[in-house]
Amino acid sequence: MKKTKKFIYLISPRKIKSNIFYSELASIFKSKKISFFQLRLKKENSKKIINIGKKIKKLCKRFNVKLIINDNPLLAKKINADGCHLGQSDSTVFEARKILKKKIIGVTCHNSKKLIKKAIIDRADYIALGAFYYTKTKKVKYRAKIKLIKEAKKITKIPIVVIGGINLNNYKKLLLNKANFLAISSYIWNNKKYKPLKAILKLK
């Protein structure tokens, strides 16, 4: 039997409203397609993020998925997550490393070769490039072209996570161009056609 490749870096919905979410997440993790789950709750307070994060951490451990906390290394430490994702306006890799030691630290590099090179020097564990396509998840200031993946691959071996408007119609192109992981959010959580698990299973 062909081994399923775990190529999805799943980003949480903006709000986690009920306990149904956790059983839904468990069924998604069972698909064995998810490598990372990023908890990204911009509008919640720290206490709520910690509570939700600890519940998700148990699921991640059970299904061998790495839990990444968005923006905040201190919260990542309190939740005992596997790592933290840093945007360009968050703390530096150096500062996050002091808090998280050997845990995973990923960095947003938008569409910039300069930021990719800086992340490599700073010893980030992965880089996130994009947005490659239009997305409603966040305002797109930076559009990246497919050739950026190839250019990044020439200068580094660290994994590349691609982001921005990824769906059923465009995901294969990114994988064919050697992206390591696809960061996906609204295609899963706000899909008008498919429920979250079905949306995940469509990505082969």
Return the biggest CA–CA distance within the chain.
45
Question: What are the tens digits of pLDDT across the range 61-92?
Answer: 999 999 999 999 999 999 999 999 999 999 99
In the three-class reduction of DSSP (H, G, I as helix; E, B as strand; rest coil), residue 133 is classed as coil
Helices (H), the chain: 20-30, 46-63, 73-79, 93-100, 113-121, 147-155, 171-176, 186-189, 196-201
- Under a CB-based contact definition with an 8 Å cutoff, are residues 127 and 119 in contact? yes
pLDDT beyond 70 at 182:
yes
Question: What are the tens digits of pLDDT across the range 156-179?
Answer: 999 999 999 999 999 999 999 999
Question: What are the tens digits of pLDDT across the range 97-122?
Answer: 999 999 999 999 999 999 999 999 99
Residue spans per domain, the chain: 8-201
pLDDT beyond 50 at 2:
no
Answer yes or no: pTM beyond 0.85: yes
Domain 8-201 CATH class label: alpha beta
Q: Give the tokens for residue 132.
A: 């490659």
